[in-house]
Amino acid sequence: MAKAVKREWSDWLNPVLVKEIRQYFHNFGILAVMGVLLVVQLMMLVVMQYQVSESRSAFSDSGAVMFGLVAGSMGLAAFLVCAFGAMLRFTGERRDRELDFSYITVITPNRIIWGKLLGSLVMIVFIYALCLPFMVIAYFLRGIAMGDMFLVALAMLPPLLVATQAGILVGSAGKRWLIGVFCLAMFFFGQPAALFFAAFLWGLFRGTDSVGAIIFLWCVFCAILLGLLYALSVAAVSSRFSNRMLPVRLFLVGTFVCSPLIGLGVALAGDMTADIGKVMLVSLTAVGSTVAALCATLAAFERLDPGERVRRQRPRNPVGRVCHGLVSSGAWSGILLAHLLLAVAALAVFFAYRLDSATWFDAFFWVSGCSYFLFYANIAIWAAGNWKVLPGWCYWAFTVIAFVVLPLLLSGIVTLAGRHDVDVMLLTTPFCLINSSGGGWMLLFGPALAAGALLLAGFARLSRPAEGGRRS
């Protein structure tokens, strides 16, 4: 009986999870990182003991200093073991078909990515447990409360999972040169972006005694980013002829639907129940506009024609066919879905104005800023549909250079020359919204560009309904 239960338990476990844990503990480099982590923390303990013995008493913030050093070394070790290690291992697997589970087994891409993420989570918990005794020692050195230690350790977990999932996404491409790009991006953009967002939340709720809202928004932001990276990883591992973008668009639509609940959570956590309706509408507008911008940008990188295999999966009833087509692969359906989501977000601005006339400007600011991303994606998809020489992402890059990079460079040159009236030069960029001296009419320019580009792309599409698209 016991053997049967054990066998059923082992069959229930994700085989990728078992393989990941086995490889973690059989990798000499990972074991060396853990050994170095233990030695470094022991050295910290010796230094702190020397400082205490010299002063004959622990100074007031010795515990905080000790905990900061332990937390920093713990985060660095977790990044090297989980994010960097998982990326290297998955890159090697994707480059060798004899090791790639998507080729040698019938395991679905979702189970492959889920098993790798769970394996990394197990290692993060193991590293936390390795550092736990030193955290307890830091607490007894005084200078830090137990609740603050728990809060910091808990706040470090979501960004570590996000970094791990980003490493898995990079590894799913199977390109070695992306490893260097990932390391540079995490060093120059990842850590500053996390610190900037944390400082933004702190400044947003500073003086309002809304620590709960800060923690809630931090967790929600990391959860959304983690889910998006997870869905993109599943799409990258899937077959190129399958409906790869289905999980990504389902996640984006689900995030859009749950956006009012995010505002509700912020209002309840920040004790802002009096403005709960306003906060929910602003959350719907901000999150919905951002989701629409992401959906449009990803559509510019997709193939134009979803393929016969994807079209055969559509339901027979008209409503089901339309809904399935919007969330399936294909650049045209992606850009249409983005415009529908942005239209709903813009409709929320009207209700925000009816609820509070001072709220509509903040809400419409998000809609106007994200409209530019739909404009760039529309132009790129229109160009890819007319000139099938290059993939869609090339046309998107050319569009961004023409409408964003060049105007920014030109406005910088004009500003250095002593002239400061550069608002007109930045009309094709979201940066024109930063300067409010031009009045409210600037808020209408982004949606106008997006609507015009949609009409242009739609006319080009309808004029050639029988043409197939090029895979981008």
Give 391-438 as a DSSP string: -HHHHHHHHHIIIIIHHHHHHHHHHHTT----TGGGTTSGGGGT-GGG
Cβ neighbours, 10 Å, residue 347: 14
Q: What SS3 state is found at 25?
A: helix
Number of domains in the chain: 1
Structure tokens at 108: 């679905």
172 neighbors 240 (Cβ within 8 angstroms): no
Please report whether residue 445 resides in a domain: no
Q: Which amino acid appears at position 303 of this protein?
A: R
Q: Tens of pLDDT along 4-18? A: 545 555 555 678 888
Please report whether residue 309 resides in a domain: no
Residues of the chain with pLDDT under 50: 1, 5, 207, 437-438, 466-472
The model's pTM is 0.86
Q: What is the C-alpha separation between 18 and 6, in angstroms, rounded?
A: 14
Please report whether residue 250 resides in a domain: no
What pLDDT score was predicted for residue 357?
60
What pLDDT score was predicted for residue 440?
61
What pLDDT score was predicted for residue 202?
58
Closest listed residue to residue 77, CA positions, set 132, 37, 126: 37
Please report whether residue 256 resides in a domain: no
Q: Tens of pLDDT along 346-396? A: 888 777 766 666 666 667 788 888 889 999 998 998 888 888 778 778 889
Provide the domain limits for residue 113: 14-233
Closest listed residue to residue 285, CA positions, set 359, 373, 183, 391: 359
Please report whether residue 432 resides in a domain: no
Residues 6+ apart with CB under 8 A from 115: 14, 15, 16, 17, 19, 20
Please report whether residue 191 resides in a domain: yes
Please report whether residue 112 resides in a domain: yes
